[in-house]
Amino acid sequence: MASKVVPAQPVTPFEFELYEDPDHLRTVIASSNQSTHRIDPAKLKLRHRIGRGPFGDVWLATHHQSTEDYDEYHEVAVKMLQPLKEEHMRLVLDKFDGLFSKCQGVENVCFLHGISVMNGKICIVMKFYEGSIGDKMALLKGGKLTLPDVLRYGIELAQGIAGLHAKEILVLNLKPCSFLLNENDQAVLGDIGIPYLLFGIPLTSSDMPRRLGTPNYMAPEQWQPEIRGPITFETDSWGFGCSFVEMLTGVLPWCGKSIEEIYDLVVRKQEKPHIPEGLPPPIENILLGCFEYDLRSRPLMTDILRVFKSSQNAVFVDGGWTGFGSRTIPEKSSGAGYTEWFLSKDHLQVGDMVRSRRPPNSCKPENMDVPEGTVVGLEHNPDRDGFVLVSVHGIHDPLRLPVSTLEKVSFGLAAGDWVHLKEENNKHSPVGILHSINRDGSVAVGFIGVETLWKGKSSELQMAESYFVGQFVRLKTNVLSPRFEWPRKTGGSWASGKIWWILPNGCLIVKFPGRFTIGQENSSFLADPDEVEVVSFNTCPGVFKKYQHLEDFHWAVRPLVIALGIFTAMKVGFFTGKKIQRSRVNRPQGNAVQSKGQYMDGQTSGDGSNQAWFPPSVKNILGVSPAAAR
């Protein structure tokens, strides 16, 4: 029996026709049995460790496969995960069964041999590749690649990621060190499915960045997905953008920053990585989109793939791009319009119900050109935005309107609407934001407490009260134990705050301008939309309540009112005192008339009648007579 070492060969499915009846041929797809991906640990021999990542160690190993005729020894890479509890290990193994079957045939994705358990640790066995893009960058001067190479690798990787997304698999750990290179210098996605397998499973260490990715490449919603989520396909767009920038510049995103500092920059301060200058405008534009804080405004991987393919030819025609500088991505205000990537996700067809799209964060009623209409025609122009013909009730001729001004309505709901579950679930908030609704009524909603998008039917939802940036809210009186910490006033009642940002799952980020704080400590709080109510002057009964609401606008209102009251009191007192003094000066006084028989001090008149008393002179006090004085 011969023994030899051979490279690992992927087992690809094939089709054949099953001949049972001459008149009825059945086409059958044959593939490897699912049971074959469970590898006996005795057939794996670990040789030495070749890497270490956030999810575990990577080992070079030999996989022994034997048949009746010969033995085969495959050189493989084994990713040994961190220890899990026994009940969680079974869940991971079951999830891998689905992952293994979904990954079969996906282009530009590392081939999986199977899974095993060694020394109480789950081991994912995959094909071994000699190097990665990260290794190649380390050998180059400046540690960066040329734009043509980055675009070529980016197209290959985007194809693999898009293929996984089509199978409902999130990567969540995109970085150059995980982009492997095969013998033809083609990029292959190496780290697939590990965050997907560990998603929702607690580890022995409760370190969130270890579970959901590498901190330098993590999107804002990855840090606390149940609070700041949900995690969606657009989450991978952020990690892909970080990797693309690193390949171009050779600089690790947030280089030199600790995990806490990265969290503060990305999540709290909403800062974005730096991108190089001199890029083709389409590539620069899509990188800007990858770093949008709101995941709904980011491009999908199919959008990135399309832009990269269209830009690749332009780069080679116009020549290379050199002299990269660095600049900061301009901040986008909360009142800015929708991005083109947000608008491109709403595909209209003839027969769709539509309505005018309201500006974002606009709580004022707008005059809608189309309160409700039906698409009766499509008109597309590659040089500008597409147009559609909309039939509106009461108007004879169809209206020709830009696609970007309309939104699709299905079963009375549109993407971006606030919705409420008819049957509440104690595990998560019943109020959320609708992300998508299909023509068959299937919906995807972001809820606080759900790490990914909640999937269901439109019949399970009803419209909820909408919230907008700039509104003042406070906890409802019947809420005794809120989901998140909430400040109180001096008297013990709940304080009112101003909505500063709304996350894609409906979680409200609230700031309290009426509270004086030093620095950034406790400058903002989170709120469940199901636990708060809107506060305005119209809802405040009485003058005192309205004044209390006025204090919510800024902490300086009360000191200013107190200072104004003191100033007014002092001003009134000053004018009152002057008026009293003036009245005393102008009062008429009696003249002292000296007559015969009167004393000089004027105390007693000659006739013995009492007169007004006047103070005695100094001479009288000293006992000096008038004659002596002379």
DSSP string of 451-469? SB-EEEEGGGEEE-----T
Domain boundaries, the chain: 2-127, 131-331, 472-554, 599-630
pLDDT reported for residue 197? 81
Distances (CA, A) of 38 to 33, 74, 96, 112, 492: 10, 16, 10, 11, 60
Residue 276 has pLDDT above 50, yes or no: yes
Number of C-alpha atoms within 13 angstroms, CB side, residue 71? Answer: 9
CB 77: neighbour CB atoms within 10 A? Answer: 21
Closest CA to 53 of 81, 34, 31: 81
3-state secondary structure 361-414: CCCCCCCCCCCCEEEEEEECCCCCCCEEEEEECCCCCCEEEEHHHEEEEECCEC
Q: List the alpha helices (DSSP H) in 224-300.
A: 225-228, 233-249, 259-263, 281-290
Closest CA to 235 of 170, 322, 177: 170
Give SS3 for 510: strand
In Å, the largest CA–CA distance within the chain is: 164
Q: Where is mean pLDDT largest: 88-102, 426-440, 544-558?
A: 426-440
Instruction: Tell me the CA end-to-end span of the chain in Å, nearest whole number.
Output: 156
CA 146 to chain centre: 32
This prediction's pTM: 0.79
Rounded to whole angstroms, the Cα distance separating 212 from 219 reads: 10
- What is the average pLDDT score of the chain? 81
For residue range 221-244, list pLDDT tens digits in order. Answer: 999 899 998 999 999 999 999 999
Which CATH class name applies to 131-331? mainly alpha
146 against 379, higher pLDDT: 146
Beta strand 524-527 with 70-81: parallel, antiparallel or unpaired? unpaired
Q: DSSP letter string over 562-625?
A: HHHHHHHHHHHHHHHHHHHHHHHHTS--PPP---TT--TT-SB-TTS-B----PPPHHHHHT--
Residue 220 has pLDDT above 70, yes or no: yes
Give SS3 for 495: coil
Residue 364 has pLDDT above 80, yes or no: no
Closest CA to 535 of 480, 496, 484, 576: 496
Residue 206 has pLDDT above 90, yes or no: no
The domain 2-127 is placed in CATH, from the list 2.40.50.140, 3.40.80.10, 3.40.50.620, 3.30.200.20, at 3.30.200.20
Closest CA to 433 of 140, 176, 229, 171: 229
Rounded to whole angstroms, the Cα distance separating 485 from 526 reads: 7
Q: What is the average per-residue pLDDT within 51-55?
A: 79
